[in-house]
Amino acid sequence: MLVCPNCHAALSAVSCSPGVFWRCPSCDGRSATIPWLRRNVSARVVNALWLSAKSGTFPRLRPCPACGNRMAEVVAETGHGKEHIDVCTACEFVWFDRGEYAELPSIPNASSWKDKLSPEAREKLALREIELIQQQAQEKARENPNAPDEWWQWIPGILSMPIEQDAECVRSRPWITWGAAALIAVVSLAAFPDLQTAIADYGLIPDQFGRDGGLTFLTSFFLHGNLFHLLSNVYFLLVFGDNVEDWLGKRWYVLLFASAALAGDALHILGDPSSTTPCIGASGGISGIIAFYALKFPNVRLSFLVRIAVWFRWISVPAYILFLVWITLQFLGAWMQTSVSSHVAYLAHLGGVAVGFIFWLASRKD
């Protein structure tokens, strides 16, 4: 049974000359498959709609009437403006709120053998088409059930970074997260041509933490040692920061970010106050965000790609499990940093985690 994603009423099949679509008797929403749309709507519009849904750039909000997976809410250009149309990339179902389908440019109906079938036969044929689509999706899922839905998510997977699978959709655009990520990227890339000079002039040196009036606490935050250091920090900020910003609100989110960065720098300095090695990177602030995320959303599933020679497999675990593994590695790294030596400021990570934990304690009853 197909169910309306708005009012959860059972959808009724409507037979017409181009095939069968489903209608909600309560809200008058409509649902149809991508193959049905290709027979009735301009190919340019349908192709753009499908490619946009597969791109992963649109939020996944409402459940699909057929399979229950979250549909991508695509902004589609029509002849009369823009419409927000929901597309399920798992079973190729499309949902139209009342009046949305009428805005799409239609094509003349061409007669086919299906036109000669009875309404009951058309409905059975349409249901069979849906079953085949769902079977194909299930077979693909069984081959690698934790594989990502979007192609671009394979890129961080190959780089050994996790991806979100079922995080809550944010209620507002994370402008602070996006702005911070953009600023970090721009400043770091601008410093790369003469990186050693930039680090020497603007990095945070524990033995000279008060130089330039303490300005290096800020400037060191935007510098990164290499491209992978920059990409990984920006990626983690974008993946985890949007949900934390959405939950805390922009003012408290900025306070968490800044406090975690300062606490990370302070703990790094206390670890070896006489060190003359500059410390750079936004890891302390981002560690605070990661800690808050894992504690506030512990059951969100994160997937990562395991590779052994030519064999690979996506593994999915709850956020709190991955956080426990990560925090254990940070403590081991901090021991190495204080006992032997390390090029990674693990103490700065732990300082940021402490702030994230405090913010979680303060908001855990909300």
pLDDT at 79: 60
pLDDT at 202: 94
Q: How far is CA 69 from CA 2, 13, 297, 364, in A?
A: 13, 21, 20, 29
Contact (CB, 8 A) for 257 and 232? no
pLDDT at 288 over 90: yes
Contact (CB, 8 A) for 19 and 119? no
Q: Which superfamily is assigned to 151-363 in CATH?
A: Rhomboid-like (1.20.1540.10)
Residue carrying the six token digits 């823009």: 82
Structure tokens that stand for 54 in this block: 């597969």
Dist CA 360 CA 358 (whole Å): 5
Tell me the chain's radius of gyration from C-alpha atoms: 26
Structure tokens that stand for 236 in this block: 């983690």
Structure tokens that stand for 260 in this block: 């975690």
Dist CA 76 CA 58 (whole Å): 11
Q: Which residues contact 140 (CB under 8 A, 6 or more apart)?
A: none
Question: pLDDT tens digit string along 105-154?
Answer: 765 554 555 555 666 776 676 667 767 766 666 665 555 666 776 777 88
pLDDT at 25: 87
pLDDT at 301: 87
HEC assignment per residue over 226-255: CHHHHHHHHHHHHHHHHHHHHHHCHHHHHH
Compute the average pLDDT of residues 164-169.
Answer: 74
Dist CA 163 CA 168 (whole Å): 14
Give the strands of the sheet with 81-88, arranged side by side: 12-16, 19-23, 30-33, 93-96, 81-88, 70-78, 60-63
Residues of the chain with CATH 1.20.1540.10: 151-363
Residue carrying the six token digits 């302070």: 266
Question: pLDDT tens digit string along 235-248?
Answer: 999 999 999 999 99
What counts of helices (H) and strands (E) characterise the chain? Answer: 12, 10
Q: How does the average pLDDT of the chain come out, rounded? A: 84
Question: pLDDT tens digit string along 102-117?
Answer: 877 765 554 555 555 6
Burial 63-96 (b: 16+ CB within 10 A, else e): bbbbbebbbbbbebebeeeebebbbbbbbbbbbb
Q: Which residues contact 307 (CB under 8 A, 6 or more apart)?
A: none
Max Cα–Cα distance, the chain, nearest Å: 87
pLDDT band at residue 19 under the 50/70/90 scheme: low
What is the dihedral sign for C-alpha 292, 294, 298, 301?
positive
Q: Which residues contact 204 (CB under 8 A, 6 or more apart)?
A: 216, 217, 220, 265, 268, 269, 278, 279, 280
Question: pLDDT tens digit string along 262-287?
Answer: 999 999 999 889 888 899 999 999 99
